[in-house]
Amino acid sequence: MIKVLLIYFSATGITRYFASLIQERMEVNGYQVDLLNLEELTDLTVLWQKKPVALPYTIRAEIKRPLSKYPWPYLTLQEALNTVNESSVLKKLEDEWADYDLVGFGSPVYGFRPAPVMIRFLLDLPKFKNSKKVFSFATHDGAQGDFENFARQVLTGKGFEYVGHLDQSFVYSASTIMMKKFDLLSAGRLLVRKSALARQRINFFIKYLDNILMDVPDAYRITNPLSIVFGLPYRFLYSFGIDILLNHFLFGFGIHKEKCIQCMTCVMQCPQGLIELDEDSYPIRLYHCMYCLRCLNWCPTDALYFSRLTDGKARFPGPEVLLEAANQDDMASRLKTF
């Protein structure tokens, strides 16, 4: 039996959901699959803060719109790639993963790259000596850019045999925080449709993996050169638009103290450990983060916001809530037919 380990980082729950779909389809096809949240594998906050790699939009925000007078010593992506040193904490993983035939690494897409905390984890991995087969998977809001090429570069540099990539867009979770109202039913129906598409893609990928794991040559993806050429303007405009949106409308950190119940949920949920408590025990963030949205989405009283554009707006409740809304509507429709 083929043993697979799926390791993921998920901010809004969408990547976790995608990982569960991959697990579901693989187990149907006879694989044995273990699912592992990256934050359960290691102390991600400590790991990242020792060498805090940040993507360009965060670094630009620190320069243009600092939240404090003390700059955070962020490493650019290139600096992080040029100073790769394995973490002693993670050296044991080569032995712990020895029984797995395949390992998958999953993350949301941030600036056409994995989440910075996932990047830090990958760069800190020991160099594997047995050429273990790995693949990457990603969730995004419409464009993943060079995510796959970056994952291949880093993972092959760690001694892995990179065999492929899966990606899927589900629901535009990032835009939720700018909406006055979030339609759970509409989003739930969209998630159901996208889930069906995801299962089809996963099934196709599994057929490819069957050949790869049995050392049968196969072509999984044939890229059309025209799609690359025509895709460049789209990717440029998408990246440019996202950068403008973040820098001019979203970056920041605000709190309505009259709403805050000082539960510390945001402090505990920040995967980068950048939210602290001020002298009055209210949350404060003095540095720009990767803007994963978790603090806003998890706040039980909606006391937090980034910029005024997100103040008093909707929050993303997670895929389970959306699926429940869609299922309840489906059940109600069936009852009406009786």
> What digits encode the pLDDT tens for the residues 315-333?
999 999 999 999 886 665 6
pLDDT in tens, 133-172: 999 999 998 878 889 999 999 999 999 999 999 999 999 8
Same domain, 258 and 225: no
| Residue 267 included in any domain | yes
121 Rama sector, left if φ>0, alpha if ψ -120 to 50, beta otherwise:
alpha
Structure tokens at 97: 């993963």
Same domain, 186 and 42: yes
What is the pTM for the complete model shown? 0.91
Same domain, 59 and 190: yes
Domain end position, chosen among 242, 271, 289: 242
Q: Are strands 275-277 and 283-285 parallel, antiparallel or unpaired?
A: antiparallel
Domain residues for the domain of 306 are: 250-319
| Residue 329 included in any domain | no
Q: What is the pLDDT of residue 219?
A: 47
Which candidate, 165, 160, 87, places its Cα nearest to that of 130? 160
Same domain, 131 and 10: yes
In the chain, the number of structural domains is 2
Same domain, 193 and 291: no
Same domain, 92 and 150: yes
CATH of residue 192: 3.40.50.360
Same domain, 226 and 77: yes
pLDDT band at 212 (very low <50, low <70, confident <90, very high): confident
Domain end position, chosen among 200, 217, 242: 242
Q: What is the mean pLDDT of residues 75-103?
A: 91
Domain end position, chosen among 188, 217, 242: 242
Q: Is 172 exposed, middle or buried (0-12, 13-18, 19+ CB in 10 A)?
A: middle
| Residue 41 included in any domain | yes
Same domain, 194 and 304: no
Structure tokens at 116: 């910075």
pLDDT in tens, 50-59: 999 999 999 9
| Residue 276 included in any domain | yes
Confidence check: pLDDT of 38 > 90? yes
Mean pLDDT of the chain: 89
